[in-house]
């Protein structure tokens, strides 16, 4: 089955700096890679996703890159704000079911 590894587990940045979270996956058949933001005690919220036919996708301050050959994808958040503080999960899927990474706790210091 699919195995997704996520790094780092915690990340602390100053407000206005950029944050990068990286994930690798094992199953070359995976073709969908979403990123979720989860605040304490709440549901995961889809923030951006990318499919295997695309190398990069951007939505305002958030961007995701995908390297299919190396089987890794990354989340980039620019101009971070305190409200970006949360746990971020990457995931991968090839046939509906998602396999999640272990999560990154991002803390943005004001």
Look up residue 35 and give its two tokens.
């990123």
Q: Should residue 97 be labelled a site residue for another protein when binding is judged by CB under 8 A?
A: yes
Task: Report the site for another protein in 62-91 (rule: CB under 8 A).
Answer: 89
Closest contact distance (angstroms) between CB of 102 and another protein is: 5
Closest contact distance (angstroms) between CB of 109 and another protein is: 20
Q: Should residue 110 be labelled a site residue for another protein when binding is judged by CB under 8 A?
A: no
Q: Should residue 24 be labelled a site residue for another protein when binding is judged by CB under 8 A?
A: no
Report which DSSP code applies to 85: -
* Contact of 106 with 13, CB cutoff 8 Å: yes
Look up residue 95 and give its two tokens.
């046939």
Q: Should residue 102 be labelled a site residue for another protein when binding is judged by CB under 8 A?
A: yes
Contacts of 46 by beta carbon, 8 Å cutoff, 6+ apart: 34, 35, 36
């Amino acid at each position: 089955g699919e195995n997704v590894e996520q790094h780092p587990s915690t990340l602390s940045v100053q407000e206005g700096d950029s944050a990068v979270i990286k994930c690798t996956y094992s199953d070359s058949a995976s073709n969908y890679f979403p990123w979720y933001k989860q605040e304490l005690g709440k549901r995961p919220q889809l923030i951006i996703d990318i499919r295997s036919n695309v190398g990069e996708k951007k939505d305002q301050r958030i961007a995701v890159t995908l390297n299919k050959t190396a089987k890794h994808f990354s989340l980039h958040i620019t101009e971070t704000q305190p409200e970006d503080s949360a746990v971020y999960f990457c995931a991968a899927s090839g046939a509906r079911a998602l396999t999640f990474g272990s999560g990154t706790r991002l803390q943005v210091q004001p």
